[in-house]
Structure 1
Amino acid sequence: MAKTKDDALVTSSEVDSQDDLDKVGYRSEFRREFSLLETVSFSLAIMAVSCGITTGYQYPLLSGGHMAIIWAWFIASFPVMCIPASMAELASSMPTSAGLYYFSAKMASENRSALASWITGWSNITGQITLVCSINYSSAIMITSAISMATDGAVILTQAATFGILMAIHFTQGIICSAGTRVLARMTVVIMVIILGTTFSAIIALLVCAGDRRVSAKTAFTSFENNTGWGNNGWAFILAFTSPMWSLTGYDSAAHIAEETANAARAAPIAILVGVAATEILGWLYYIAASFATQSVTETLQTTLPLPMGQVFLDTLGKTGSLALWIPIAVLQYMCGCSQAVDASRVVFAFSRDNALPGSRWWKHINPYTLTPINAVWFVILMSAICGILSFSAAAFDSLASASVIGLYVSYVTPIYFRITSGEKKFKPGPFSLGRWSRLSGAISVLWTVFMVIMLLFPYARQVDAQTMNYSVVLVMAVALFASLSWIFSARHWFTGPVPNIDNKKYENEKEEST
C-alpha cells in the first residue's frame, strides 16, 4: 500500500497504473474500478458471441450455405487474431483511454504524427458509433422476431415500429451508461455469465434437439450453395467473412477503459487476447451446431422472420424452446449495446480531451458525481440514433455492420502499420510483447484489413436498388470527407496529436514527496 498526495490509501497496482498513465502525459480522472476479470468480461461483452452468431447467421447462409457457415468463420479467425495480438502489444506499452489514435501518434514519424492520429481517431469514432447502432438495430429486430415467434407469425412489425423500438433502446441505454464506473464494471461480469450460458445452451440445444433431423457430417461441412446472385462462387464465399469480421470487433474496448482499470498494462492485453480467442472458439462451435441443425438452406432463407437463425430455432426447438433461448440472447444483445456505448463514450472523451472534436469542451467534461464522461455518453447515443434512420432500408443491418467494421479496422491497423515501419525502433514494450513476431503479425494484420475493407464496400447481393444497396460507403465517406476537409482547412494548423495535461516534472516532485 502507498499514500497519495490526498492521503488516501491505494493498492500497489493502482500506483503502477497511475505511473503508466503519467508517463504518457495524462492526469488520472477516473476511478480504477475494473479488475482483470471485469476487463476481460468487458471485452467479451462487446463481442457477445451468442448474439453475434445469432444475428450474423444470414451472411454465410446466403453466400455458401453449410460450407460457408462452418469454414468462413474458421478461416477468418487466423488472420483476425493477428490484429488483437498486435493491438495488445501497443495497449501494454501505452495504457491510456486515448488508445489507438495515441498509438498512431507515437509510432508515426514526427512529420506524420498529427495526421496519423487524426485519421485513426476519426476512423475509430466512426466505427464505434456505427457499431453501437448496428448492435442496437440487431437488438430491435431480435425483439420483432420474438414477437413474430410468439404470435406464430400473426404479428409482423413494420419498419416504423422497429425504428421506434430502436429509439427506445438508445434512450434507456443512455441512462444506464451514465452510471459510475463501479456499476458498469459489475454489470460486465453479469453479461459474461449470460454470454457463456446462452452460447453453451444454444450449442447443446441445436445438436441434441435436432435429433434424427440433423444433416449428415458431409452436408454440414462440405455442402455449398450460392444464393447471393454473384456468379463467382469464390467471391460469394468471401462475402461470408462479413459475419466473423462484424462479430470480432470492439476488442479495443479494453484499451479504452485502461484509465479505469487496475494494472492496465497487464490487464488490457490479457483482456484483448482472451476475449478474441474465446469468441473465436465458441463462435465456431456455435456455427457447427447451427450447420447440423439447418435442414434446408433454401427454406431457411425464405423465412418471414427478420433473422434466419430464428427459423432454425423454431425448426429445431419448437416455439416454447425457441423463445426460452431467444429472449435471453435478445436481452444480452441489449446489454452488449450498453457496453459498446460505454466504450464509444471513452473514445469520444479521450479524443475531445485533445480538442479534436467539434464541441470538445462539452464532451471531455467529467461528471463530478459519477466521475464518468456523461456528456460523451449522450453524444454517442445521439449520433448512433441518427444513424438509426437507416433502419428504414432493407439493407440497414448490412450497411451498419459494414460501416462499423471498416471504421474500426482502419483505426486498428493504422497504428499497427506505423508500429512495424517508422515506430519499430522507438517502440518501448510493456509487460506483453510479441518480440520478433511483431513484424509478421503486423504485416498480416494490414494486408487482411485492406482486403476486407474492399470486400465490405460491395453490396451483399448482386441485384441492388435503393432499398438493398450497401450504404456503408455513404456513412464512411461522409465522415471521411468531413474529417479531410477539417484537416485541410483547419486542423492541420492547430492539431498536434495527443496533448499532455500534466507537467511530468511536477508529477515527479509530488511523487517523491508523497513517498
Structure 2
Amino acid sequence: MSKFKEGDTVTETADVNQDDLPALHRNDNVLLRKLGYKSEFKREFSLLETISFSLAIMAVSCGVTTGYSYPLLSGGHFAMVWAWFIPCVFVMCIAASMAELASSMPTSAGLYYFSAKMASKERSALASWITGWSNITGQVTLICSINFSCTELITTAIAMGTDGAVILGSGATFGILMGIHLTQALLCSAGTRILARMTVVTLVVIMGTTIGAIISLLVCAGNQRVSSKDAWTKFENNTGWSNDVWAFILAFTSPMWSLTGYDSAAHIAEETAGAARAAPIAILVGVGVTEILGWIYYIAISYATTSVPDILETKLAFPLGQVFLNVLGKKGGLAIWCSITVLQESAFIYLCGCSQAVDASRVIFAFSRDDALPGSRWWKRVNHRTQTPVNAVWFAMILSAICGVLSFSTAAFNSLASASVIGLYISYVTPIYYRVTSGRNKLQPGPFNLGRWSYPIGWIGIIWVAFMVVMLLFPYSQTANEQTMNYSVVIVMAVLIFSGGSWIFSARHWFTGPIPNIDVQSDTSSYSEKPENMEQNSLKN
C-alpha cells in the first residue's frame, strides 16, 4: 500500500534518471525501495565520512573529560581503569548486533524499522512505537547533555584563566547553552556534502587532541606519577554507598554515556554510498576506536591523579581541569584545557553536537514519514535546496533547548545524562530482543552478519542493558537529597506515560509501523538495473 499522499511536499531524488547516478548509488536506491522507501537524499557520505560521523558523536576525549567525576567518586584509580574496560566488552556486543541489522536494512528509519520487521505481526506496531519514542527521547536529551558539557568546559576554562575570580552563574551558562543550540541548528540546516566533509575534520581533531592529552599527562607528570600498583588497583569509595562493589558499578555511567550515538551510522544510511557495508563498518570501527582510546586516556589520567581527595575538593566545574593544572601548571594546563575546549567548540559543539543533532533530525524525519509524531507532515518535509530535513533539524534543536531549562537545577540537569543513556539503550536492544526471539528466521543477512553467534551475542547485550537501566536510575549517594537525587526516572517515566498513553488511547488504532511511501512492486520493477549489479542481501518482503 502506498502511504505517499497527494499534497505532501518532498524532494525526490528517485525521480532523477537512475542512469545518471553512479552504479553504487543505484544499487543503494534499489535496496532502499525494496525496504519500502524512495530515495529522498543525496548519497554524499563516503565510508570514511560515515566512520567519522560515528566517531564525532562519541568524541572520546570530550566524553572522558566530562565523565571523569564518575570513576573519581566511585573507586578512584581502580574505577578509572576498570570501570571503563568492563562495560566496553558488553557494549561491543550491542554494537555488533546493531551492525548486523543495519547491514540488512540500511534505512534512516533505523532501529524502529528493525523492531517492526523482527517482531511478530501482532507486536510489530507496538515494538516500532516503543523503539521510536525511546530513541527520540535519548537523541534529544543527548543533544542537550552534550551541549551542556561543552558549556561547562568553557566556563571551566574561564575559571582556570582567572584563578577562580570569574565564576559564571546559571544565567550566563544558560545563555551560552542557547547560543550553542542556535549555531548548531543553522549549521545542521546545510546540505549533506558540507556535513559530510566536516566530519572528517572532526576525526582529525578528535584523534589529535586525545593523543596530545594522553602524552601530556604521562610525560609532564614525571616523578609526580603514582605507582603502577596504585594506578591500576588503588580503590577509594567516595560515593556515600557502603557497598564498594555497588559504588564501583556506578562508575559505569561514564563509558555508558560516552559510548552512545553509534546508531547514527544507521540513521544516515539513506545519505551513505554503499550503506549496507558502510553502516556496519562505521558502527564497529566507531565503537572500537572510542573504547580503545578512552581506556588509554583513563589509564593516563589515573597515573596523573596524585590525590583523589584533593581533586574532589576542586571548585572547577570539571575535576579533570584540576588534574591538568596540577600536572602542567597554570599556563600548560590552561593550554591543554583550551585545546580541548577548542575541540568542543569546533568539533564537539559544531561537529559532535551537530552530528548528534543531524542524527536526531533523521530519526524524527523517519518517524514522521510514518506519521508517528505530532505535526508529522511538517517534520517529514525535505528542503528542496539542501535536500535535508531542515524542519526536523529545528524541531530537534527546539526540544533540546527546552530541556536546557533544567540547567538551572544541577541535580535535574545531571539526570539528563542518565535519561539519554536509558532512552537510547532501550531503543538499541528492543530490535535485538526481537531479532533473537520472534525474528530468528526473518533476517535476510546483509554483507555483515554474525552467523550462529547472533543469538549469544544478542542475549549478552540484552541482559547487560537490563542491568544498566536499573543502575542508571540510582542516585550517586546513599543519602540522597534534592541536590544529589537522580531525577532520570522522572524524565523517563514522563516520556513513557506520554508515549504509552498515546498508544493506548490513540496510536494503536492507526499506527501500523513503517509503511512504504512507494508501490514497492511497481517502483522496483521500473528500474533498468541489471540483476548482477543489484544488492543481493536485502530484507525479504
Given the two structures, how large is their TM-score scaled by the length of structure 1? Answer: 0.98
Cα deviation for residue 7 of structure 1 reads 6.3
Cα deviation for residue 107 of structure 1 reads 0.1
Cα deviation for residue 397 of structure 1 reads 5.1
Percent identity, aligned pairs only, is: 70
Contact 1:101 1:415 in 2 (8 A): yes
Q: 1:393 aligns with which of 409, 413, 420?
A: 409
Cα deviation for residue 504 of structure 1 reads 1.6
Q: 2:374 aligns with which of 358, 362, 382?
A: 358
Cα deviation for residue 323 of structure 1 reads 2.5
Other-structure match for 1:32: 43
User: 2:304 aligned with 1:288, yes or no?
Assistant: no
Contact 1:198 1:329 in 2 (8 A): yes
Tell me, in whole angstroms, the C-alpha distance in 2 between the residues paired with 1:514 and 1:441.
Answer: 36
Cα deviation for residue 169 of structure 1 reads 0.7
Q: 2:87 aligns with which of 76, 87, 90?
A: 76
Other-structure match for 2:315: 304
* Cα deviations by residue, 1:111-141 (Å, 9 ceiling, x for unpaired): 0000000000000000000000100000000
Letter in 2 for 1:345: S
Q: 2:326 aligns with which of 315, 318, 321?
A: 315
Tell me, in whole angstroms, the C-alpha distance in 2 between the residues paired with 1:435 and 1:329.
Answer: 41
User: 2:26 aligned with 1:15, yes or no?
Assistant: yes
Other-structure match for 1:333: 348
Other-structure match for 1:462: 478
Cα deviation for residue 8 of structure 1 reads 5.4
Where do residues 258-297 of structure 1 align in structure 2 (5 Å cutoff)? 258-297=269-308
Contact 2:26 2:529 in 1 (8 A): no
User: 2:256 aligned with 1:241, yes or no?
Assistant: no
Where do residues 436-455 of structure 1 align in structure 2 (5 Å cutoff)? 436-455=452-471
Other-structure match for 1:252: 263
Tell me, in whole angstroms, the C-alpha distance in 2 between the residues paired with 1:156 and 1:462.
Answer: 30
Cα deviation for residue 15 of structure 1 reads 1.3
User: 2:422 aligned with 1:411, yes or no?
Assistant: no
Other-structure match for 1:228: 239
Other-structure match for 2:494: 478
Cα deviation for residue 9 of structure 1 reads 2.0
Q: 2:504 aligns with which of 488, 493, 497?
A: 488
Q: Which runs of 5+ in 2 are unaligned?
A: 1-13, 532-541
Other-structure match for 2:392: 376
* Cα deviations by residue, 1:453-502 (Å, 9 ceiling, x for unpaired): 00000111222222321121111111110000000000000000001001
Cα deviation for residue 257 of structure 1 reads 0.1
Contact 1:113 1:497 in 2 (8 A): yes
Tell me, in whole angstroms, the C-alpha distance in 2 between the residues paired with 1:346 and 1:35.
Answer: 17
Between 1:468-477 and 1:359-368, the stretch displaced more is 468-477
* Cα deviations by residue, 1:252-285 (Å, 9 ceiling, x for unpaired): 0000000000000000000000000000000000
Q: 1:104 aligns with which of 115, 119, 136?
A: 115
Tell me, in whole angstroms, the C-alpha distance in 1 between the residues paired with 2:47 and 2:529.
Answer: 30
Contact 1:249 1:408 in 2 (8 A): yes
Cα deviation for residue 443 of structure 1 reads 0.3
Contact 2:433 2:458 in 1 (8 A): yes
User: 2:167 aligned with 1:156, yes or no?
Assistant: yes
Q: How many residues align?
A: 513
- 4+ residue runs of structure 1 moved beyond 4 angstroms? none
User: 2:85 aligned with 1:88, yes or no?
Assistant: no
Other-structure match for 2:535: none
SS of 2:526 mapped into structure 1: helix
Other-structure match for 2:151: 140
Letter in 2 for 1:462: Q
Cα deviation for residue 394 of structure 1 reads 2.2
Other-structure match for 2:524: 508
Change (3 A) 1:79 1:513: closer
What's the Cα RMSD here?
1.4
Tell me, in whole angstroms, the C-alpha distance in 2 between the residues paired with 1:55 and 1:333.
Answer: 12
Tell me, in whole angstroms, the C-alpha distance in 2 between the residues paired with 1:357 and 1:461.
Answer: 37
Contact 1:31 1:181 in 2 (8 A): yes
* Cα deviations by residue, 1:179-212 (Å, 9 ceiling, x for unpaired): 1000000010000101000110011000000000
Letter in 1 for 2:314: T
Other-structure match for 2:418: 402
SS of 2:483 mapped into structure 1: coil
SS of 2:38 mapped into structure 1: coil
SS of 2:236 mapped into structure 1: coil
Cα deviation for residue 433 of structure 1 reads 0.2
Contact 1:256 1:347 in 2 (8 A): yes
Letter in 1 for 2:43: R
Tell me, in whole angstroms, the C-alpha distance in 1 between the residues paired with 2:362 and 2:63.
Answer: 23
SS of 1:512 mapped into structure 2: coil
Contact 2:71 2:83 in 1 (8 A): yes
Contact 2:145 2:417 in 1 (8 A): yes
Other-structure match for 1:56: 67
Tell me, in whole angstroms, the C-alpha distance in 2 between the residues paired with 1:4 and 1:514.
Answer: 19
Letter in 2 for 1:24: L
Cα deviation for residue 396 of structure 1 reads 4.5
SS of 1:511 mapped into structure 2: coil
Between 1:316-325 and 1:39-48, the stretch displaced more is 316-325
